[in-house]
Structure 1
Amino acid sequence: MEPLVEVHTDEEMTIALEAGARVVGVNNRNLHTFEMDLETTERVALVAAAMGVPWQNPTESWTRDRIVLSALSGITGPEDVKRFETMGVSMVLVGETLMRAEDPAKAIRTLLGEEDPTPVSEQRLVKVCGVTNVEDASTIATAGANLIGVIFAEGSPRRVTEKRARDIVKTVQAFGERNSPKHIEPPPQTDSSAEWFQAWSRKLVEASHRTPLVVGVFQNQPMEEIRRIVAETGLDLVQLHGDEGMEACAECGVPALRVVHVPAAAPGEERVESVLVGGERASPSAKSRAEEVLAQAPPNFAAGVLLDTSVKGVKGGTGLPFDHEVAKLVGEAGVPVIVAGGLDPDNVEVCVIFTESFGVDVSSGVEEAKGVKNPGEVKRFMEQARLAHKDLTAKLKQEEEEEEEEQGERI
């Protein structure tokens, strides 16, 4: 049996080789700061070269005069595997990427270059909001969520203190092997809302693919307070949930999602049951409400549009759905939306397939008490949402192929 000796620094590599280690793993993560640097393997490997110790090429048979070099941590795509393979690394250790993958088998094939990765344009987001403690944050991050919401809005039963928010942010950053907020460069300004929000949707997917982002939720609070909390807690994103307007999103210090409130489905006309199963008819007011949403979504300000339910002046946190036909119509107009309100593990799949939404947002639907998430329900929600995303991608591809076939027949 040959032990694998883990190293991170030049000094540790020297000690390992002088002790006779033949299988050496270079950890690209600094376990003190959690900072990730893929160049660590390349840099530390030079120590072996300077000592005259060659390492095994992956295509060659191993001999005792060579070390087996392994790269540990930070491998997220086939380009990373190829990078290390080119420099002669024999093995890579992959953990978090597979844990967060909706299809681990496909993720492995993708890492090996046997299958193309899912295009960013086909990927979608899952947000879990109302997180109040580090244990839930860790559970949600491990389950594969893209966005983790912490609430600062006054009056919310899930409101957190700034200290608690900092602890949650640090937990999420540690999981993502980073020690600072994620910087996301906004897309070029444009006159088209569809073009603007589609560009942001791709950027949000790319930024949250490997590590979740923490979103601070505010409602009608002074901008100075929002910017201060962002700076002091390390939030990655902000979500404005009140009457701030789209323009305020550009003043938060970090990219901001803007909530547009849609009235709850009316009993007798837009029954909750029919809405959630994607009833055959749209509500009479769905078209006008979709037009209202689009009118509130000009380009060049918000990083995304989130639709949530309002009930008699209560905006968000109602646990009730709105007419999902509104979300479907807004999406068909070219503006990607995140759907919130009344979602849970049992209805999220139908919601995704029917609305074809860019993302979904859950809070009370995965709780065992206000502000306390149920780990099993979180996992189940993630599984159902990712399954729905996979099925939706297949559905859209099939529709595209059928449309191309029909056009060919007409020609």
Structure 2
Amino acid sequence: MQVKICGITSVEAAKQAVASGADYIGFVFAKSKRKIDKDKAAEIASHIPTTIKKVGVFVNEELETIRDIASTVGLDYVQLHGDESPAFCKQIGYPIIKAFQIKEKGDLEKLTEYSCDYFLLDSPAGKYRGGNGEAFDWSLAKGLTDLKGKVILAGGLHVGNVRQAIAEVGPVGIDVSSGVETDGIKDLQKIAAFIEEAKQVEKGD
């Protein structure tokens, strides 16, 4: 099970995620309480091994800005969390994770319009696109056999429900941000516990 720890804003949190076995580290470059600028993200990224993929999260951002940040930070993936069109996604020039907010079954039909490396299924937007700490109805995402190996699950995940989420949806990866925080700050113990719990699933424990 691939695990992405998103909303990283410190070297300490990044190192904990790496040491605990995270597969992806996420930086948020959109409006959010976890927003980070490209220079700080680049500094943190310099401490992340090349084996760990770096993901930049954007919402309805200009194409040139995305490319500039991706180049500066050394991003491996660009995650688009806004209303970006399929054509826009193709122009970026980086592997794409396209996020979709799932309120009803019909929302999943939009996925067929996009050609992406991964589809991230998230809960409906709150104050910000993503990172709101609320889960959507996972039963809506059952049986996505056409997308096997391409679905990343997000939204309201934490150490207490991640096994159930994986069992219900069967994603290739999971994405967590607020679920590994205490008072809005990344909690090193929660990061370690979450990753361990998620990784235990594939071991059958």
2:68 aligned with 1:228, yes or no?
A: yes
In 1: Cα distance, 2:86 partner to 2:98 partner:
7
**Candidates 100, 112, 132, aligned match of 1:297:** 112
C-alpha distance in structure 2 between counterparts of 1:377 and 1:148, whole Å: 15
Give the residue type in structure 2 aligned to 1:213. K
Structure exhibiting the larger radius of gyration computed from Cα positions: 1
Q: 1:260 aligns with which of 66, 80, 100?
A: 100
Give per-residue Cα distances to partners, 1:129-167, cap 9 Å, x unaligned: 00001111111011111111000002x000001111101
Query: Could you report, residue by residue, the CA deviation over 1:89-125 in whole angstroms, capped at 9, with x for unpaired residues?
Result: xxxxxxxxxxxxxxxxxxxxxxxxxxxxxxxxxxx31
Change (3 A) 1:327 1:165: same
Match of 2:187? 374
Report SS of the residue matched to 2:25: strand
Q: Aligned residue for 2:131? A: 317
Structure number with greater CO (CA < 8 Å, separation at least 6) is 2
The answer as to 2:199 corresponding to 1:386 is yes
Separation in 2 of the partners of 1:136 and 1:143? 11
Alignment counterpart, residue 39 of structure 2, candidates 140, 152, 163: 163
The CA deviation at 1:314 is 4.6
Aligned residue for 1:350?
A: 164
**Residue 241 of structure 1 is aligned with which of 69, 81, 88?**
81
Q: Offset at 1:354?
A: 1.6
User: Is this contact kept in 2: 1:259–1:305, CA < 8 A?
Assistant: yes
Q: How high is the sequence identity, in percent, across the aligned residues? A: 35
1:247 is displaced (CA, Å) by: 2.9
Give the aligned residue type for 1:354. E
CA contact (8 A) 1:247 1:302 kept: no
Q: Is the 8 A contact 2:101 2:125 kept in 1?
A: no
Shift in alpha-carbon separation, 1:390–1:326, aligned structure 2, 3 A: farther
Q: How many residues align?
A: 204
In 2: Cα distance, 1:252 partner to 1:244 partner: 11
Matched to 1:236, the amino acid is D
Tell whether the 8 Å contact from 1:297 to 1:305 is kept in structure 2 after alignment.
no
Q: Which residue does 1:136 correspond to in 2?
A: 13
CA shift for structure 1 position 233: 1.6
The unaligned stretches of length 5 or more in structure 1 are: 1-123, 179-210, 264-284, 393-411
Question: Shift in Å at residue 261 of structure 1?
Answer: 0.9
8 A contact 2:111–2:119 mirrored in 1: no
Partner of 1:171: helix, strand, or coil?
coil
- Quote the RMSD (CA, aligned, Å): 1.8
Matched, 1:145 2:145: no
| Cα 1:350–1:218 shift into 2, 3 Å | same
Deviation at 1:251, TM superposition (A): 2.0
TM-score (normalizing by structure 2): 0.92
Distance in 2 (alpha carbons) for counterparts of 1:257 and 1:297 = 14
User: Do the aligned residues in 2 keep the contact of 1:327 with 1:339 (CA within 8 Å)?
Assistant: no
Distance 1:350 1:227, change over 3 A: same
Partners of 2:85 and 2:42 lie apart in 1 by 27
Match of 1:39 in 2: none
TM-score normalised by structure 1 residue count: 0.47
* Residue pairs, 1:395-406, within 5 angstroms: none
How many Å separate the matches in 1 of 2:38 and 2:127?
A: 27
Aligned residues of 1:127 and 1:362 also touching (Cα < 8 A):
yes
Query: Could you say what secondary structure the match of 1:381 adopts?
Result: helix
Amino acid of the structure 1 residue aligned with 2:28: I
One-letter amino acid matched to 1:230: A
Partner Cα separation in structure 2 for residue 368 and residue 313 of structure 1: 19
The residue identity in structure 1 corresponding to 2:13 is: D
